[in-house]
């Protein structure tokens, strides 16, 4: 039981590390042609953007782990739970709280959430591929805690 919880936590923390590195080196690298739809909003773009393909790809991977791990109740299940928990929190923080893609939780005054918003705003100050800063989501540099 303790190992299962450990796997969930490792997968969750691992996703933050993986996401930050993937964001910096792949999304702002070779796949900028997709990710730029998130940085360079077009009028009339609608609710979805090409960049959403990244979330969809990660979700499919997590669902596959879940499907494979559920019958066996093995490590794949617990890793899937950690990845799904991270993805859910990512969606709530990034898409709902920060970018307000769904009008909900507009008046959150929590200091951590405010620091996340400032860090993400600093990241979006760059509308080109490079340079940039603050590629992660949950880990916020101290300079954004005012």
pLDDT of residue 121: 85
pLDDT (tens digit, 9 = 90+) per residue, 25-44? 999 999 999 998 888 776 55
The answer to whether position 59 is within a domain reads yes
Cα dist from 48 to 19, 34, 44, 62, 102, whole Å: 20, 12, 10, 21, 11
Q: How far is CA 87 from the centre of its chain?
A: 6
pLDDT band of residue 140 (cuts 50, 70, 90) is confident
DSSP for 61-78? HHHHHHHHHHHHTSHHHH
Q: Say how many residues make up the chain.
A: 146
Q: Is pLDDT of 46 > 60?
A: yes
pLDDT (tens digit, 9 = 90+) per residue, 60-102? 999 999 999 999 999 999 999 999 999 999 998 888 887 777 7
Q: Which two tokens stand for residue 113?
A: 């959430």
For residue 8, the enclosing domain spans 2-105
Q: Which two tokens stand for residue 11?
A: 């997968």
d(CA 54, CA 26): 11
Q: How far is CA 30 from the centre of its chain?
A: 18
Q: Is the pTM of this model over 0.75?
A: yes
The answer to whether position 124 is within a domain reads no
What is the three-class DSSP state of 42? coil
| C-beta atoms surrounding 129 within 10 Å | 14
Mean pLDDT of the chain: 87
d(CA 132, CA 35): 13
The answer to whether position 112 is within a domain reads no
The answer to whether position 128 is within a domain reads no
Contact 2, 70 (CB under 8 A): no
Q: How many domains does the chain have?
A: 1
The answer to whether position 40 is within a domain reads yes
d(CA 84, CA 140): 21
pLDDT of residue 38: 84
The answer to whether position 115 is within a domain reads no
């Amino acid at each position: 039981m303790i190992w299962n919880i450990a796997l969930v936590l490792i997968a969750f923390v691992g996703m933050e590390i993986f996401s930050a590195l993937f964001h910096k080196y792949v999304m702002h690298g070779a796949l900028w042609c997709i990710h730029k739809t998130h940085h360079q909003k077009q009028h009339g773009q609608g609710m979805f953007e090409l960049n959403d393909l990244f979330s969809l790809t990660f979700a499919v991977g997590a669902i596959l782990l879940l499907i494979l791990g559920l019958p066996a109740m093995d490590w794949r299940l617990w890793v899937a739970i950690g990845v799904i928990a991270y993805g859910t929190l990512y969606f709530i923080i990034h898409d709902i709280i920060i970018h307000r893609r769904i009008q909900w939780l507009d008046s959150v005054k929590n200091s951590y959430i405010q620091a996340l918003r400032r860090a993400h705003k600093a990241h979006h100050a760059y509308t080109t591929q490079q340079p940039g800063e603050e590629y992660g989501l949950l880990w916020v540099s101290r300079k954004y805690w005012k």
